[in-house]
Structure 1
Amino acid sequence: MRDPWNAFMPYPDADVGHTAIGPLSGLRLAVKDLFDVAGYPTAAGNATVLAASGIKTSTAPLVRTLLDAGACFVGKTNTDELAYSLIGGNIHFGMPINPRDPNLIPGGSSSGSAVAVAAGLADIGLGTDTSGSIRLPAAVNGLIGWRPTHGSLDNQALRPLAPSFDVPGFMTRSLEPMAAVMSAVGMPAADDRPSSILISADIFATIDDAVADEMIAGLRSAAIPVRRIDAISSFSLADLASAFITILQREAWDSNKTLFERSPEAIAPDIAARLLSGSRLDDEEVRETRAIAKLFSAEIDRLLCENVIVALPTLAMSPPARDAGAESFARFRSACIELLCLSGLSGCPQLAFPIAGYVGKVSLSLLGARSADRMLMNVAGQLRAE
């Protein structure tokens, strides 16, 4: 396959069989290089991990489910190193090119899967989402991005980053193949609609007023009551992001400690610095932040138990240029995590999608109660149809 976008890892082709007829027949599947696929190595975006990987002899169960549903495997895709970034860069294998705007970052860490779908090289992009690694590149590349309910999909033979937050997820160009994927992976059908859509003032205050107004106007067109609230939690967005980052850094260190201690020079300096930050965290501080996460999750459960969903911007600011400096990347990552962490801390599903008819590059997200994944699809379908 010709790949001018650097979406795929440069592995020799291996035969990966799939069922001829199924709900995903005719759809091409690109798989993030964190999942094992028989006949291929798994590098997780790191050259040392690649060297030690060997050729896998079995395929991750989730990937096998998609193949058994008729999806045709077209390759393993590039990822941020160790899946530990939101930018899309990789010093070992290069940064994929954003087909929507080559001057911008592709977003990560599921950068290759997003780019493969956006460039028309695949119909389904399988990735992972820990701190936004499905939702952010989906938003940047103009795609549908689904972060499922935490724990709802099989994560065996998937290299972990932060298990408290890690979720396999998907990107597509439209809602129809995403609905087919949901069926294929066993997400139960649902015809229910939310009683209302919540707009939280503290969340929408983080973005440009004109963009916020456009999003809210679009929501009101769905013939579902829209209700304003001051905040979704007793905790500030900044405090939630801080708690999230603390847990993420500790678990990322735990997941990559052996690699770091054996080959610290084999990890990009910015990734290594974040791993070291996790190694230095005080145990009591981590316990306190886990308590915050538990309290926040309980608050969200109470908020969403009445068959409501929360609407929010997917990104807190426009993506930076691919050649921007480290400070610009850090600012972007920090701002976006304040919104992206909400799904991770709560374990709730989130669906990101472009706003139909909007002249800018704007992505809206819907956050629902655990196991309300299908309801989010129903609402998105109604909004996208307007």
Structure 2
Amino acid sequence: MRDRWNAFMPYPDADVVHAATGPLSRFRLAVKDLFDVAGYPTAAGSAAVLAASGIKPLTAPLVQTLLDAGACFVGKTKTDELAYSLIGGNIHFGMPINPRDPTLIPGGSSSGSAVAVAADLADIGLGTDTSGSIRLPAAVNGLIGWRPTHGSLDDRALRPLAPSFDVPGFVTRRLEAMAAVMSAVGMPAASDQLPSILIAEDIFETIDDRVADKMIAGLRSAAMPVRRTGAISSFSLADLALAFTTILQGEAWECNKTLFEQAPEAIAPDIAARLLSGSRLDDGQVREARAIAKLFSGEIDRWLGENVVVALPTLAMSAPTRDAEPENFAAFRSACIKLLCLSGLSGCPQLVFPITDCAGNVSLSLLGARRTDSMLVYVARQVGAE
């Protein structure tokens, strides 16, 4: 395969068998290099992890499920180092190129999977989402992105970053393909009960007023009831983002402590700095963050228990250029976490999709109750995602 978008890891080809027929038999599958695939190493975006990997003898169960459903494996895709970024860069293996706008970052950490799908080198991109690693690259590349209900998909033979938030996730170009993936991995069918859409003013205040107005107008034009509230939570978005980041950094350190202690010089400076931040957290900070997460999860459950879907912009600001300064990347990451953390803290599924009638590269999201993943596709169709 000719990969001028730099989406795939340059591994020698190995024979990966898939079923001749099945619900995914017409789809090509790209797999983030965090999942084991028999015949390939698993690098997790790290030269040190690659050196220690060896060739894996077994395929991750979730990948095998997709192969058994007929999906054809086309390669392992690049990721930010240790899946610990939202930008899409990697000092060891390079940054994939955003096919929609090559001047912009591809987003991460599932950068390669998103780029492969956006460039039509794959139909299904399997990745992971901890703090937005499916949703952000999907938004930046103009794709459908699905962060499933936490714990609903098999995550064995998948290298962890922060288990409280880690989930496998997918990107596709069309909702039809995403619906097929959801069915193939065993998600329950959507209920035929029409939900209402909740718009929280504090969330939409984080983005440009003109874009927010167009998004809200589009939601109101759908044949679904719309409700409004002043705030999504008793906590500010900044407080929720801080709690999320605290838990994430603490768990990322625990998952990568051994690697860091063995070869700190092999880790990119920005990734190493975030790992060290996690090492310096005290137990009280983590306990407080987990208490906030628990309370917020309860608040979201009360909203969504009323047959409600929360609508929100996927990103809080436009993606920076790939040659932007580190402080611009940091500002982008910080702004976007305020919205991306909501699904992680609550454990609820989120579906993102491009909005075609808004100027620029704009993505809308739907957040639903746990195990209502398939319903989000139905609602997305109602609000004009395709």
TM-score range, shorter chain: over 0.9
Taking the TM superposition and a 5 Å limit, the aligned residue runs for 1:1-386 are 1-384=1-384
22-31 or 358-367, larger mean C-alpha shift = 358-367
Q: Which runs of 5+ in 1 are unaligned?
A: none
The answer on whether the counterparts of 2:211 and 2:358 sit within 8 Å (CA) in structure 1 is no
TM-score for both structures, normalised by structure 1: 0.99
The answer on whether the counterparts of 2:188 and 2:372 sit within 8 Å (CA) in structure 1 is no
- 2:339 counterpart SS class: helix
The answer on whether the counterparts of 1:194 and 1:308 sit within 8 Å (CA) in structure 2 is no
CA RMSD of aligned residues (A): 0.8
60-69 or 221-230, larger mean C-alpha shift = 221-230
The answer on whether the counterparts of 1:129 and 1:167 sit within 8 Å (CA) in structure 2 is yes
Deviation track 1:47-77 (CA, whole Å, cap 9, x = no partner) reads 0100000000000000000000000000000
Structure 2: how far apart are the matches of 1:253 and 1:385?
38
Q: Which runs of 5+ in 2 are unaligned?
A: none
Deviation at 1:384, TM superposition (A): 2.4
- 1:136 counterpart SS class: helix
Deviation at 1:382, TM superposition (A): 1.6
The answer on whether the counterparts of 2:103 and 2:321 sit within 8 Å (CA) in structure 1 is yes
Deviation at 1:356, TM superposition (A): 3.2
The answer on whether the counterparts of 2:43 and 2:53 sit within 8 Å (CA) in structure 1 is yes
Structure 2: how far apart are the matches of 1:135 and 1:294?
23
Deviation track 1:247-269 (CA, whole Å, cap 9, x = no partner) reads 00000000000000000000000
Q: Name the count of aligned residue pairs.
A: 386
Aligned partner letter, 1:150: H
Deviation track 1:174-222 (CA, whole Å, cap 9, x = no partner) reads 1001000000000011133443101000000000000001101111121
Deviation track 1:76-135 (CA, whole Å, cap 9, x = no partner) reads 000000000000000000000000000000000000000000000000000000000000
148-157 or 184-193, larger mean C-alpha shift = 184-193
Aligned partner letter, 1:218: G
Deviation at 1:385, TM superposition (A): 6.0
- 2:10 counterpart SS class: coil
Structure 2: how far apart are the matches of 1:356 and 1:333?
24
- 2:188 counterpart SS class: coil
Deviation track 1:11-65 (CA, whole Å, cap 9, x = no partner) reads 0000000000000001000000000000000000000100000000000000000
Change (3 A) 1:270 1:385: closer
